[in-house]
Structure 1
Amino acid sequence: MYNLFISLRYLRSRKISFFAIAGVAVGVMTLIVVLSVMNGFDRELRSRIRGTLAHIIILKGGMYGLEDYKQVIEKVKTVEHVIACAPYVEGPALIKLRNRREFVYFKGIDPLAESRVSDFQSYIAPFGSRPEDLLITHGEKNIASIFGGSELFRIGPGEPEKDPGSFIQNGEQVVLVTLKEWDKISVKAFEVVGKFKSGMYDFDKNYVYIPLSVAQELTGAKEKDAVSGISVKLDDYHYANEVRDKLQATLGFEYYVQTWEDARKTFLTAVMMERHVMALILFFILVVAGFNILAILTMIVLEKSRDIGILKALGSTTRGIMSIFLLHGLLIGSTGACLGVAAGLTIVLRINWLENVLYHTTGWRPFPPEVYYFNQIPTVVSPMSIAITAAIAIFCSVIFSIYPALRAARLDPVVTLRYE
């Protein structure tokens, strides 16, 4: 019991110990804030990527892709957990917007079916558009309709919902130029009937939606009644891998069946690696705090060698002397971890308020929405991550206390008390 009493006394009397506590607290706080923000970004990115794709995508090689797509859809619908399917035609094109030309990808869809497998309807709803608007034809020439990404249609600064004049207006005509049957060129005019905003800059900058039948004409797949792929929605994404394998076995290996995570595997892996590397780099803050503890406890051992000699002369064991300094390190780590968790959670829960205060005070915004495409900084507080971070901080504090504890335990009371 005396070892705990002495450890607490050293902790209270040695003000330098508070610097060690502060070092651990800063390390824990930084890790919690950064990991919460990174987890939030990961969740939002996954949500927005998932919104542009379906749970499962079915593709097939060849010039025309799935020529028998209606039969494939009937087979797919018989598989358990499948609740909706939507065919699509996708390809590159050159688009003429007023006096500029852009390279884009067009996606020919059945808008009603697409609304059942992706977030297409929620992308166009803020602009007062409906999925069926894409099926409207215009004028005597029956010009087809087109939806364009908000960033692709941008002609000035501002938000599409608040500053419609900064974007190409409904009723304007645009022209798509595409390849047809690999050796011909298709040129077709479209009339703008709306914009969409997915929250993914690359998608909003590089994609347009057109009717499925028109896309088939542009690519030369109309005669074959072919599509590029089929989007599939499940009742629960947890069954995605199981359903993917069933569909692959049912359709055969000439088809490519993949989940949306398979389709974006490289990007998702890069985000995951970035999160892990960031955590590893920030972990070294705790290592620096650990060296700080080592230096402080070593200095205390040197200053208190006389006291240690007296304790040994009074009968304290080597293990008892070690436990004093190990407990001291444990108290520093525990106190610092608790303060760091409290500070980290406070910052995470108020991070958007803090960003607004910083922005209105200095004019600088750490997470500008036009760059990151988030209206607010996304955060996800993971109790498991917090517990692991606090445990690592305490563990490091104890580990770095071992050397000074061993040094104190090996002091010879005869030598330390010789001149007393």
Structure 2
Amino acid sequence: MYKFFITLRYLRSRKISFFAVAGVAVGVMTLIVVLSVMNGFDQELRSRIRGTLTHIIITKGGMYGLENYTQVMEKVKATEHVSSCAPFVEGPALIKIRGRKEFVYFKGINPVEEATVGDFKAFLSPFRKEPEDLQKTHGENQTASAFCGIELLRVSPGDPETDPISFVQEGEQIVLVTLKNWDKISVKAFVIEGTFKSGMYDYDKNYVYIPLAAAQELTGIKERDAVSGISVKLHDYRYANEVRDKLQSSLGFEYYVQTWEDARRTFLTAVMLERRVMAFILFFIIVVAGFNILAILTMIVLEKSKDIGILKALGATTQGIMSIFLLNGLFIGSIGSCVGAAIGFSVVLRINWLESILYNMTGWRPFPPEVYYFDQIPTVIKPASIMITIFIAILSSVIFSIYPAIRAARLDPVETLRYE
């Protein structure tokens, strides 16, 4: 029992111990905040990428090589766990919009079917549009409609609700230029029927939705009634790999069947690697706090050598002296971890409020929406990673207290008391 009381006395009497606790607290707090924000970014990015694609994508050799797509769709719909599917024609094009020319991707879709496999309807809802509006035609020439990404229509900085003049307006004409049958130039005009916003800057800047029939006519595959691929939605994404393998086996090797994660594997791997590297780098804050503990406890051993000699003379064992300083490290790590976790949770829960205060005071935003394309900083608290962080902090505190504990235990009481 004496070990516990002596440990508490050393912690209370030495104000410098509070700096050791603060070091651990700062390390734990930083790890919790950064990991929560990184997990939030990862989850939000996955959600938005998943919305722009679909659960499973089926393509065939060549950009417009899927000719028997109606038969393939029937086979896909009969597969277990499949909810719906929709054909699409996708390809690169040069767009002329208000005199400026840019490279974009067009996506020809059946809007009703497309709304059942992804978030297409949700992309249109902020602008009070419905998927069926894409099927409208305009004027005597029956010009087809188009939905353009919000960033593609941007003319100057501004918000579409409060500053509509900063965007190309509905009813204006655009022209798409692409290859037809790989050896001719195809040019077709469209009328902007509406705007969409997916939440992914690259997608909103570089994509145009047009009707499926118009896309087939633009690319010269209308006679063959071919498409680029088929989007598939499942009842439950947990079965994605199972359904992918089953479809690949039933359709044959000439078809390419992949999940949205397969299609964006490089990007998702880069995000995951960045999160792990960030956690590894920030872990060294806890290591620095550990060296701080080692230095402080070593200094306490030197200052309290007389006390240690008296304890040994009174019958304290070597293990008992070691336990005092190991308990010091344990208490410093435990208190610092609890304080750091409490502050970290508070920061994570109020991080958007803190950012707004910082922005109002300084005009600077750590996470500007125009760069990261998030209205708020996304955060996700994972209990498992928090527990691991706290455990590592406490364990490292104990490990760094081993050296001063051994040094204290090896003190000779006779020599110590003689020279003191």
Aligned-partner SS, 1:344: helix
> Following TM superposition, by how much is the alpha carbon of 1:63 offset from its aligned partner in structure 2, in angstroms?
5.5
> Following TM superposition, by how much is the alpha carbon of 1:62 offset from its aligned partner in structure 2, in angstroms?
3.0
TM-score with structure 2 setting the length: 0.99
Q: Could you say which residue in structure 2 is the equivalent of 1:400?
A: 400
Percent of residue pairs bearing the same amino acid type: 77
> Following TM superposition, by how much is the alpha carbon of 1:384 offset from its aligned partner in structure 2, in angstroms?
1.0
Q: Could you say which residue in structure 1 is the equivalent of 2:287?
A: 287
Q: Could you say which residue in structure 2 is the equivalent of 1:336?
A: 336
**Cα deviations by residue, 1:16-53 (Å, 9 ceiling, x for unpaired):** 00000000000000000000001111111011000001
1:111 aligns with 2:111: yes
TM-score with structure 1 setting the length: 0.99
Distance 1:120 1:63, change over 3 A: closer
Q: Could you say which residue in structure 2 is the equivalent of 1:273?
A: 273
Instruction: Map 1:2-401 onto structure 2 (within 5 A).
Output: 2-62=2-62, 64-401=64-401
Q: Which amino acid aligns with 1:139?
A: G
What is the CA–CA distance in structure 1 between the aligned matches of 2:133 and 2:13, rounded to whole Å? Answer: 75
What is the CA–CA distance in structure 2 between the aligned matches of 1:376 and 1:233, rounded to whole Å? Answer: 29
Q: Which amino acid aligns with 1:129?
A: K
Aligned-partner SS, 2:299: helix
RMSD: 0.8
What is the CA–CA distance in structure 2 between the aligned matches of 1:65 and 1:57, rounded to whole Å? Answer: 14
Q: Which amino acid aligns with 1:405?
A: A
Distance 1:263 1:282, change over 3 A: same
What is the CA–CA distance in structure 2 between the aligned matches of 1:62 and 1:120, rounded to whole Å? Answer: 25
Alpha-carbon contact 1:127-1:161 (below 8 Å) kept? no
Give unpaired runs (5+ residues) of structure 2: none
> Following TM superposition, by how much is the alpha carbon of 1:364 offset from its aligned partner in structure 2, in angstroms?
0.9
What is the CA–CA distance in structure 1 between the aligned matches of 2:42 and 2:331, rounded to whole Å? Answer: 35
Aligned-partner SS, 1:316: coil
Aligned-partner SS, 2:242: helix
> Following TM superposition, by how much is the alpha carbon of 1:151 offset from its aligned partner in structure 2, in angstroms?
0.2
1:409 aligns with 2:409: yes
What is the CA–CA distance in structure 1 between the aligned matches of 2:125 and 2:168, rounded to whole Å? Answer: 17
**Cα deviations by residue, 1:131-190 (Å, 9 ceiling, x for unpaired):** 111111111111111000000000121122332221111110000000111111100000
Alpha-carbon contact 2:293-2:397 (below 8 Å) kept? yes
Q: Which amino acid aligns with 1:226?
A: A
Q: Which amino acid aligns with 1:236?
A: D
> Following TM superposition, by how much is the alpha carbon of 1:311 offset from its aligned partner in structure 2, in angstroms?
1.1
Q: Which amino acid aligns with 2:267?
A: F
What is the CA–CA distance in structure 2 between the aligned matches of 1:385 and 1:161, rounded to whole Å? Answer: 40
What is the CA–CA distance in structure 2 between the aligned matches of 1:59 and 1:188, rounded to whole Å? Answer: 25
> Following TM superposition, by how much is the alpha carbon of 1:292 offset from its aligned partner in structure 2, in angstroms?
0.1
